[in-house]
Amino acid sequence: RVPSLCSLCAMPRRRLDKLALHAQRSCVCPSDFLEKMSKKRTRLTGGVGYALFSSLPLQNTLRVPWVHRLLLVLAVSMVLVRTYTSVVSLSEGTLPAYKYYRFTSLEQRNGSAVPESPGIAMFGLIRKKGELEGSRVSNEGRRLPCVASDAANGTLAVDGASMTLSLAAKAETRYDMWFIRTLEERDTEGMDAVRFVLEGSDDKEAWTTVGSSTIVRYFNAVVFTHGTAKVPEGRGHRLVMDATMSINYWLTNHPPVLFVGFCSALMLAAAGAHLWGARVQIVFFGITGLLRIGAGLGLLLHEQREGLPHYHSKYVIVVGSGVLLSSVVLNSFQKNFLELAAIVPATAQMVMEFVLHRELFGTAFSISSAASGIISSTGMLFIGLLVMTIRWRIMIVAQRRNATAKAVYGGEWRRLCQEQKTDVQRLGETVARLKIRCRNERALQLYPSKQADVQALWRRRSSLLTTVSLLSFQARVHNQKEEKDDRESFFAVNVLQSKTMAQVLMSNSPVRLSPTELGHPVEKLDQLHSQAFLVQDIFQSWVVDLARRNEGKFRLRQPKVDGDGAERLFEAWDGGEDARGRFKLGRVKPVKSAMCKLDMAYNDDVSRLLDMSRETLYFDTVALLEGCLSDLEKDEMVDIVLVKSSMLAQRDGERDGEKDELRAGMPFVRVNVRMAGSEEARSLCVDAHVCELLLVLTDIAKLQTMEMYNAYRYWRMSSRVANVYWRLKKRVMPRRKAQSRVSTANDGVLVAGGEKEAEPSQHAPMSFDQPAGPLLNEDATTKDDGGKTLAIEATLEDEHQRWQGGETSWGVKIGPQMEELLEGLARMSALGMSDFLDVQWKSISTSGSNFGFESSSLSGLFFSRHPITAASTRSNFRLFLTILGLWVLVLGGFGVTHFVIQTRDYAFGPYKHYRLETMLTRNGSVGRGVMGPGVSEFGLVGISGCSPYGSFPPEEGDAPEPVPSSAGPLGSSYVVTYPQGGASITGWYLRTLVAEGSEGQDPSYFNVWATNEDLDDVVDWSCALGRDDDRWW
């Protein structure tokens, strides 16, 4: 509890009381107290229904505890399931390890569906990561698939249309692919198998399908379809059957970013950062959509290159577009179309899944063993439809609950229209005239300027003030030396610490603000609340004077019974303190109510909150109400900003272009004004603050009950969304007659006396002994540079005589310097400058924007708190960083280019001689203790990336692999020699010794050397023997 905030409910009329209370608030509460309080709210007391109709439904729904907890549990479960399926899908299409593999021909090229032979010369198994189990010794060059060595030694047996491969032992790891080799005899093309199946078994009894002539990749599964394969017609040619899940398909079906973002957003919401959680969710939705579209385009190019139909790419691009559209809806249209963020991508995914299933399998959609996205899309569609159902149900219930109030108000208004038809028509003309007058006004909470702009504005005011002062210079009777006051301003020296800024800020001018000077919306609730507190008594005194001139009344707290037994709810008031407690008067809008309205209607845009200062007047007849509007139109004290009226002549059908169901039903006129003509408002810089005045008929207001008010509040929660749907309906189904402008739901009817709390608090006494401020004297005028007439006071106080000091109503004496200080603090709050020190320090501590960096030496900057940031403010250091960055970029680019060029075909060569030198064996022998190379074979890997044992049988057109002319051990080395011209390599391979118990001689550390020198000239072969140097490693 903050005592100063509680004291804000009591707003004394006296100037010193108001300034003192404002100073209490400034001392007790930080300058951004309300703003931080509104941002730090972690719980939502209104429930899911309230959240779904707020201006930020996603953020506010995440604030509901049970919602984000339930969604977090579901999201974590979904992430675990999808992670498991993603990992498992990487092995889809590979061949499980079996001891026996059987190839069976189902159809031959000549059309025979009952083949008598396999139709192939042979088939084999392939591994992508090497021909043996485990990785290869050398990783240089390209890693191409090779024939599995453990399957190359198997035996093939033909049995009718089948060919069986029997392995010596069952492998421990899976095989990646398999291949077939067509018949080598001439004129056997018709016998080629074009439809076939590959099966595996461990006992030749139970066979499992592990391969097929055609496959279909369906989400995270590979389905064997046994279609017609594109078998080459060349004799002895091979066809590699690759059914593995490529990275293109894996990325399109398993985007992990979406699930990571979803969980991150929910965890942030659970931690209380619901705003960040919603932002993270929106960003990850957009990233996921872009990634899916990008992956779909990549898959499209892959399908185009391979000659495949564009089934998968079309599916991925459409689904990605749906997710991206969902991100756009959440970012820009979630207030009215939140459910579309779930319905659109879910519907797109379900429709495209049905289309994909029919295109791939040629049958209607069915839930198969292949896991698809139908479950996730159904769940998302269910959430979207659930949100839509809740919103529509609340809107329907709200309309039904408000129907009684509308019927009561409508019946009374029809009676008044019949009895006062002429006055109602004249009222409509006055309202239309006022709307035309203020149509160019911006209905926002604006303030003159901020930061540096405020100085220019106040300099302009100061110059105008100086001009006016010179006009009365000759009339002064005091000597110039006597007029000069050398006292120092406490506010300038101790608060602003700048006499120039204090002079600009504290210069008071009677000049009205022009519309061009009101260009900056209020951004913080603290600033708006301070403005409302400072202007409320000024506004209320003006309303009292307006009511006195036009027979306006105020609502009584308790009905007054006359002598004849009749109850009176409304009565005139002259502003006296004695009668104040009898009336329900307006007040500064409660912080809780302001935050609620920002949530529900304004998307946290403080500048749209126009009823922080409000009051209501009641009139017995339409003529009196119309007369008040006409008087207000001529009032120089205020500038009219906005006029809204629901007191329209009755007619059939829709009113003012808006459907009758979307109206609350209570006729009233709302006027928003600025106290631009008040000298006191200008002295406190609140003349730009927009206040709200409601004009209501007593016959209408007395019909209101608490039940009707509660029904209205429930209706108001859903009216904005309902109004949007009504506008869409009008555009889809245009009316024959042209309708006038549609009023927004925010212009809906307010209750009598303004938007009150259920139990309005008592108001402290407020004095109205004197008017809010002197009205402008129209006789004394001057003109600015543009020729515009500016109203000024006839006489001006000397700047140093403005602050006289005095005593507050509770007995605190305030001197002139203190009054200046209190007014300066009030001006700073009204202009949003209360936190200028915090803003400056934050700018220095975070971004390093300190002007002291420019005057310090470059060497001294490196001893500051943020040396790199400080040095980055200097142009020479930025130039150095730029040159350094470009140098690193160029150097890295040359390195990558060199590597690509050098390793594009071969890594090394060509060389005539290659030598493997063993430096250390498994048993620890080094130097001359190494008795031999420790390998039974050492060879080179060519362009195929496979050793001779894992290379495919050569086909016509294949480049011949070089064959060594000699190979064998020499000392601790193994030397391989190639014929004239040598051989280039992409890597090398070795085979360990075959003898039992020779594991200790295996090389643990070795080097591979190459040379083009002639070995016949070598006399001393000691280089091939073990070295004595212990520092070779």
Residues 759-782: tens digit of each pLDDT: 333 333 333 333 333 322 333 333
pLDDT, average across residues 843-864: 63
- Where does the pLDDT of residue 957 fall: very low under 50, low under 70, confident under 90, or very high at 90 and above? low
Question: Which position has the higher pLDDT, 780 or 324?
Answer: 324
Beta bridge partners of 673: 640, 691
- Enter the tokens of residue 893: 């680019």
pLDDT of residue 873: 75
Residues in Cβ contact with 928 at an 8 Å cutoff, skipping those fewer than 6 apart: 1025, 1026, 1027, 1028
Range 922-958 burial, b when 16+ CB lie within 10 A, else e: eeebbeeebebbbbebbbbbbbbbbbebbbbeeeeee
Rounded Cα distance, 864 and 178, in Å: 66
Residue 315 has pLDDT above 60, yes or no: yes
DSSP string over 824-843: HHHHHHHTT-TTHHHHHHHI
pLDDT by residue (tens digit) across 393-425? 888 888 888 888 888 888 888 899 889 889 999
pLDDT, average across residues 847-871: 67
CA angle 97, 101, 103 (to 5 degrees): 140
The secondary structure element, H or E, covering residue 123 is: strand 122-127
Residue 257 has pLDDT above 60, yes or no: yes
Least confident piece of the model among 152-166, 279-293, 354-368, 564-578: 354-368
Provide the phi-psi class of 134: left if phi over 0, else alpha when psi is between -120 and 50, else beta. Answer: left
CA angle 738, 739, 745 (to 5 degrees): 160
Residue 452 has pLDDT above 50, yes or no: no
pLDDT, average across residues 355-372: 72
Residue 189 has pLDDT above 80, yes or no: yes
pLDDT, average across residues 127-151: 60
8 Å CB contact between 211 and 197: yes
Residue 944 has pLDDT above 90, yes or no: no
Least confident piece of the model among 96-100, 179-183, 499-503, 724-728: 499-503
pLDDT, average across residues 726-746: 49
- The distance from CA 985 to its chain's CA centroid, rounded to whole angstroms, is 52
Give me the amino acid identity at 129. Answer: K
Rounded Cα distance, 260 and 250, in Å: 17
Mean residue pLDDT of the chain comes to 77
pLDDT of residue 797: 41
pLDDT of residue 507: 63
Rounded Cα distance, 482 and 480, in Å: 5
Omega before residue 910 within 30° of 0, cis: yes
Question: Which position has the higher pLDDT, 141 or 230?
Answer: 230
8 Å CB contact between 745 and 722: yes
Residue 651 has pLDDT above 60, yes or no: no
- Where does the pLDDT of residue 542 fall: very low under 50, low under 70, confident under 90, or very high at 90 and above? very high
Give the residue from 865, 862, 858, 828 showing the smallest Cα distance to 844: 865
Biggest CA–CA distance in the chain, Å, is: 140
pLDDT of residue 502: 66
| pTM above threshold 0.75 | no
Return the SS3 of 728. helix
Burial of 578 (0-12, 13-18, 19+ CB in 10 A): exposed
Residue 639 has pLDDT above 80, yes or no: yes
Question: Which position has the higher pLDDT, 617 or 855?
Answer: 617
pLDDT of residue 391: 87
pLDDT of residue 7: 38
8 Å CB contact between 782 and 790: yes
Question: Which position has the higher pLDDT, 550 or 719?
Answer: 550
pLDDT of residue 44: 64
Rounded Cα distance, 140 and 940, in Å: 11
- Where does the pLDDT of residue 903 fall: very low under 50, low under 70, confident under 90, or very high at 90 and above? low
- The distance from CA 1001 to its chain's CA centroid, rounded to whole angstroms, is 62
- Where does the pLDDT of residue 369 fall: very low under 50, low under 70, confident under 90, or very high at 90 and above? very low
Give the residue from 596, 589, 523, 524 showing the smallest Cα distance to 53: 596
Site of tokens 């029997």:
166
Q: What percent of the chain has pLDDT over 90?
A: 21
pLDDT of residue 630: 93
The DSSP call for residue 809 is T
Site of tokens 């509680």:
6
Rounded Cα distance, 265 and 259, in Å: 10
pLDDT of residue 654: 41
SS3 content of the chain, % helix, strand, coil (to 5): 45, 15, 40
- Enter the tokens of residue 963: 């064959």
pLDDT of residue 695: 94
- Where does the pLDDT of residue 1024 fall: very low under 50, low under 70, confident under 90, or very high at 90 and above? low
- Where does the pLDDT of residue 734 fall: very low under 50, low under 70, confident under 90, or very high at 90 and above? low
pLDDT, average across residues 505-534: 77
Residue 715 has pLDDT above 60, yes or no: yes
- Where does the pLDDT of residue 501 fall: very low under 50, low under 70, confident under 90, or very high at 90 and above? low
8 Å CB contact between 13 and 766: yes
pLDDT of residue 844: 59
pLDDT of residue 561: 79
pLDDT by residue (tens digit) across 384-393? 999 989 888 8
- Where does the pLDDT of residue 649 fall: very low under 50, low under 70, confident under 90, or very high at 90 and above? low
pLDDT, average across residues 166-184: 90
Residue 788 has pLDDT above 60, yes or no: no
Beta bridge partners of 103: 163, 198
> Could you write out the three-class secondary structure of 771-792?
CCCCCCCCCCEEECCCCCEEEC
- Where does the pLDDT of residue 463 fall: very low under 50, low under 70, confident under 90, or very high at 90 and above? very low
pLDDT by residue (tens digit) across 963-996? 888 899 988 899 999 887 888 888 888 889 988 8
pLDDT of residue 474: 36
Helix ranges, 254-339 (H): 256-270, 274-306, 311-332, 334-337
pLDDT of residue 143: 52
pLDDT of residue 99: 93
Highest mean pLDDT among 581-595, 743-757, 794-808: 581-595
pLDDT of residue 745: 34
pLDDT of residue 539: 92
8 Å CB contact between 209 and 102: no
Residue 89 has pLDDT above 70, yes or no: yes
Highest mean pLDDT among 270-284, 368-382, 854-868: 270-284
Rounded Cα distance, 725 and 733, in Å: 12
pLDDT, average across residues 794-822: 66
Highest mean pLDDT among 427-436, 490-499, 676-685, 812-821: 427-436
Residue 883 has pLDDT above 70, yes or no: yes
Least confident piece of the model among 40-49, 389-398, 537-546: 40-49
Question: Which position has the higher pLDDT, 283 or 368?
Answer: 283
pLDDT, average across residues 17-37: 79
Residue 236 has pLDDT above 70, yes or no: yes
CA angle 489, 494, 500 (to 5 degrees): 55
Rounded Cα distance, 56 and 823, in Å: 38
- Where does the pLDDT of residue 209 fall: very low under 50, low under 70, confident under 90, or very high at 90 and above? very high
The DSSP call for residue 188 is -
- Where does the pLDDT of residue 144 fall: very low under 50, low under 70, confident under 90, or very high at 90 and above? low
Residues in Cβ contact with 27 at an 8 Å cutoff, skipping those fewer than 6 apart: 4
pLDDT of residue 292: 87
Beta strands (DSSP E) in 160-237 are 162-166, 177-181, 193-201, 208-212, 215-218, 221-224
What's the chain's Rg over C-alpha atoms?
43
Give the residue from 311, 310, 371, 378 showing the smallest Cα distance to 349: 378
Site of tokens 């044992």:
949
